[in-house]
């Protein structure tokens, strides 16, 4: 996956174009298109879509995974570029700067706030739907994965080459690796092997100058920043080289539900104590609604799992009949919640049915007391939406061994679990009901304040949440202002991210509602 960089060609053409159009920035997409055409060595016109193209709407909507951003009032891009080559990305970056357009980069389209395909200022989308090659090297236990691939496609590709290699990433197969990896990326192998970002060993990207960079060329500071710091603040990530991890030929899964009448409260209390102390080979995720659901992956057979559970968590009452043995890749289909057992589920790029949702996140450092759990049950009863849920993902294992500063993702030792709040918004219910569900999510989040991390109240960047703070839509945002949300995502790593940003994108071209700020004072004229 080596690329010969046409950077000089693009830059020279860009400079010539800048001379020809040396007046102030124009948002006329025709001039932008002419700029792209001047870099015509790889027929960029074949991957460019404007509102006048018959395919524009279908290309735009294909990767909008959160359907609440599909309304007529949602801002639309002037141009969509679906690159086939790095040079397409290089040209788009150069021409966007020349014509005052912002860039949004879309991999799988799962951003919870739609920031990978929405902007309040004139913008272009780089959509990687056609840039999704995966090359697995079993002998070296590595894979190169282009940004438009999904984690399901990665799992599928690994399984075609090996039954005993895997990769530690998320549960939802249609999530794109570009955003997932650059924000951290957790899953059922996290306690054993860490985050997806912990297992990235090289990357290809294009920076603000249009340069094609690998790990050696970008340097260790930038390579650090794009593995957990949200890559869209620093450039456009094209691909990642990842380290594959060993798994046994047989793993065991179970999914056990307990109602309040079946002592769910006491079981959750016990889970909060034991889940992070279990062997690294066992991860038990907890789903809360009006009852408790325990979902688990064990790297081994059920003959080993049952004695382990009887020793550490006998209260759950797990028996062999609750457990199913399968291969690791089959477990990814199971954990995705699919009714099908076919591996083809991993290749579906859009969820079925289409989804609308709002999400938020927290981190627990101490168990929620029994009285706190009683309040959670009551809130779910009041909501009445059977699809809303809280997920609690246990930490411990290797996550306790990785320093907070190892990557931008700071949530390591000292955390009991990550908490996610997800509420689906049913399209047939209308805007008023949807807003009521969003308000309920915020009410639950507010209720949880006494029980979660403090100073700051921490959050996970891949569960994007604009409620916790935003940059100015168009114009200067100070480091202090951005710190309101930045420290929640990155804690003490936020300052280093800003230092890297200042070095690689000092004029803050790559910016959006929660992009890393520079440390330079770049106030536009008239801004006070």
Residue with tokens 């801002």: 75
Q: What is the SS3 assignment for 320?
A: helix
Question: What region, left, alpha or beta, does residue 230 occupy, with left being phi > 0 and alpha being psi -120 to 50 degrees?
Answer: left
Q: What share of the chain is helix, strand, coil (3-state, %, to 5)?
A: 40, 20, 40
Terminal CA-to-CA distance of the chain, rounded, Å? 47
The CA distance from 358 to 112, in Å, is 7
463 is catalytic: yes
Ramachandran angles phi, psi of 431, nearest 5°: -65, -35
The CA distance from 110 to 10, in Å, is 31
* DSSP assignment string, 469-512: ----SSS---HHHHHHHHHHHHGGGHHHHHHHHHHH-TT--S--
Which alpha helices (H) appear in 236-359, and where do they start and end?
Answer: 264-274, 302-312, 328-335
The CA distance from 423 to 473, in Å, is 26
**In contact, 211 and 7? CB cutoff 8 Å:** yes
User: For 176, which DSSP code?
Assistant: B
Task: Kindly state the tokens that stand for 95.
Answer: 């021409």
The CA distance from 439 to 326, in Å, is 41
CA angle, residues 178, 207, 116, in degrees to nearest 5:
35
**In contact, 367 and 398? CB cutoff 8 Å:** no
Choose, from 155, 193, 421, 463, the residue flagged as catalytic. Answer: 463
Alpha carbon separation from 351 to 154, 338, 514 (Å, rounded): 17, 10, 26
Task: Kindly state the tokens that stand for 306.
Answer: 């049952």
- Based on the number of CB atoms within 10 Å of its own CB, is 52 exposed (0-12), middle (13-18) or buried (19 or more)? exposed
Candidates 505, 501, 474; CA nearest to 490 is 501
User: For 169, which DSSP code?
Assistant: -
CA angle, residues 111, 172, 493, in degrees to nearest 5:
50
Catalytic sites, residue numbers: 463
């Amino acid at each position: 996956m080596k690329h010969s960089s046409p950077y000089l060609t693009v830059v020279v053409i860009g400079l010539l174009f800048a001379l020809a159009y040396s007046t102030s920035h124009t948002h006329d997409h025709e001039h932008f298109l002419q700029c792209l055409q001047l870099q015509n060595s790889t027929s960029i016109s074949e991957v460019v879509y404007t509102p006048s193209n018959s395919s524009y709407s279908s290309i735009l909507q294909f990767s909008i995974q959160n359907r609440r951003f599909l309304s007529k009032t949602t801002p639309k891009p002037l141009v969509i570029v679906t690159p086939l080559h790095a040079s397409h990305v290089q040209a788009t970056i150069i021409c966007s700067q020349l014509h005052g357009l912002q860039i949004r980069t879309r991999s799988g389209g799962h951003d919870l706030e739609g920031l990978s395909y929405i902007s309040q200022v004139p913008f272009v989308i780089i959509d990687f739907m056609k840039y999704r090659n995966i090359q697995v090297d079993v002998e070296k236990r590595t894979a190169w994965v282009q940004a438009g691939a999904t984690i399901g496609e990665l799992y599928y590709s690994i399984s075609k080459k090996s039954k005993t290699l895997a990769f530690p990433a998320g549960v939802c197969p249609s999530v794109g690796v570009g955003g997932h990896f650059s924000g951290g990326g957790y899953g059922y192998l996290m306690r054993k092997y860490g985050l997806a970002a912990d297992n990235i060993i090289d990357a290809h990207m294009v920076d603000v100058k249009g340069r094609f960079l690998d790990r050696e060329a970008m340097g260790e500071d930038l390579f650090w920043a794009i593995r957990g710091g949200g890559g869209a603040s620093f450039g456009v990530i094209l691909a990642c080289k990842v380290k594959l991890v060993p798994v046994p030929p047989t793993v065991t899964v179970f999914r056990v539900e307990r109602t309040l009448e079946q002592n769910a409260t006491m079981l959750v209390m016990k889970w909060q104590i034991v889940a992070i102390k279990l062997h690294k080979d066992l991860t038990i995720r907890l789903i809360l609604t009006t009852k408790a659901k325990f979902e688990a992956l064990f790297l081994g057979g059920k003959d080993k799992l049952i004695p382990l559970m009887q020793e550490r968590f006998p209260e759950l009452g797990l028996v062999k009949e609750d457990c199913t043995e399968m291969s690791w890749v089959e477990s990814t289909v199971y954990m995705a919640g699919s009714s099908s057992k076919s591996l083809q589920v991993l290749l579906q790029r859009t969820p079925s049915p289409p989804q609308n949702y709002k999400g938020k996140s927290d981190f627990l450092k101490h168990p929620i007391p029994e009285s706190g759990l009683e309040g959670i049950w009551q809130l779910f009863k009041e909501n009445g939406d059977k699809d809303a849920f809280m997920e609690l993902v246990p930490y411990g294992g290797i996550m306790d061994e990785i320093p907070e500063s190892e990557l931008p993702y700071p949530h390591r030792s000292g955390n009991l679990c990550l908490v996610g709040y997800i509420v689906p918004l049913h399209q047939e219910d209308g805007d008023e009901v949807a807003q009521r569900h969003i308000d309920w999510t915020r009410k639950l989040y507010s209720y949880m304040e006494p029980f979660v991390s403090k100073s700051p109240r921490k959050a996970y960047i891949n569960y994007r949440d604009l409620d916790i703070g935003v940059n100015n839509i168009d114009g200067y945002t100070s480091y202090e202002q951005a710190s309101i949300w930045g420290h929640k995502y990155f804690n003490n790593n936020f300052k280093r991210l800003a230092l890297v940003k200042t070095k690689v994108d000092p004029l803050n071209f790559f910016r959006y509602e929660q992009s890393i700020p520079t440390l330079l004072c770049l106030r536009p004229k008239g801004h006070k």
